[in-house]
Amino acid sequence: MSVVAFTAATIAATATSARAQSPAGATHTLDVDPGIVRRLDALDPGRISARDVTEVLARVPAPRIILLEGSFPIVNMDPFAEFLIAMGYPADRIRNPRDGRYSQSSFTDSERLAGMVAWYYETEGMRPVLIGHSQGGMLAIRVLYDLAGAFSGAIHVWNPLTDRPEPRTAIVDPVSGSIQPVVGLRMRYAAAIATGKLPRLLLGQWSMLSRLSRIPDSVDDFTGFSLDWDLVAGHFGSSEPYTAIGTATVRNVTLPGTYTHIGLPLAEHLATNAATRAWIDAYVPGTLAAVPVEPGLDTTNLIHAADIWYSVKKNWCLSARRRLDAARVTQ
Strand 164-165 to 158-159 pairing: antiparallel
Determine which of 29-33, 50-54, 217-221, 275-279 has the lowest per-residue pLDDT on average.
29-33
CA–CA separation, 251 vs 318, rounded Å?
Answer: 19
Interhelix angle 135-147/110-124, nearest 10 degrees? 70
- Tell me, what's the pLDDT at 166? 98
CA–CA separation, 30 vs 263, rounded Å?
Answer: 39
CB 205 within 8 A of CB 322: no
- Whether 19 shows a pLDDT value over 80: the answer reads no
Structure confidence by residue, pLDDT tens digits, 81-108: 999 999 999 999 999 999 999 999 989 9
SS3 track for 186-250: CEEEEEEECCCHHHHHHCCCHHHCCCCCEECCCEEEEEEEEECCCCCCCCCCCCCCCEECCCCEE
CA angle, corner 265, sides to 296 and 244, nearest 5? 125
What Cα–Cα distance (Å) separates residue 25 from each residue in 102, 128, 168?
A: 27, 19, 19
DSSP 288: P
Neighbours of 227 (CB within 10 A): 24
Higher-pLDDT residue of 112 and 23 is 112
Quick one: average pLDDT of 128-154?
96
Per-residue b or e along 268-279, where b marks 16 or more CB atoms closer than 10 Å to that residue's CB? bbbbebeebbeb
CB 143 within 8 A of CB 110: yes
pLDDT band of 233, cuts 50, 70, 90: low
Quick one: average pLDDT of 123-146?
96
User: How much of the chain exceeds pLDDT 90, in percent?
Assistant: 73
Quick one: average pLDDT of 110-133?
97
- Whether 54 shows a pLDDT value over 70: the answer reads yes
Q: Which runs of E-coded beta strand occur in the chain?
A: 65-68, 103-104, 129-133, 158-159, 164-165, 170-172, 179-181, 187-193, 214-215, 219-227, 243-244, 249-255
Spatial CB neighbours of 52, under 8 Å, sequence gap ≥ 6: 43, 313
pLDDT band of 8, cuts 50, 70, 90: very low
- Tell me, what's the pLDDT at 238? 74
- Tell me, what's the pLDDT at 204? 57
pLDDT band of 235, cuts 50, 70, 90: low
CA–CA separation, 228 vs 55, rounded Å?
Answer: 39
Structure confidence by residue, pLDDT tens digits, 287-317: 877 888 888 899 999 999 999 999 999 999 9
Quick one: average pLDDT of 160-186?
96
- Tell me, what's the pLDDT at 201? 58
- Tell me, what's the pLDDT at 145? 96
pLDDT band of 330, cuts 50, 70, 90: low
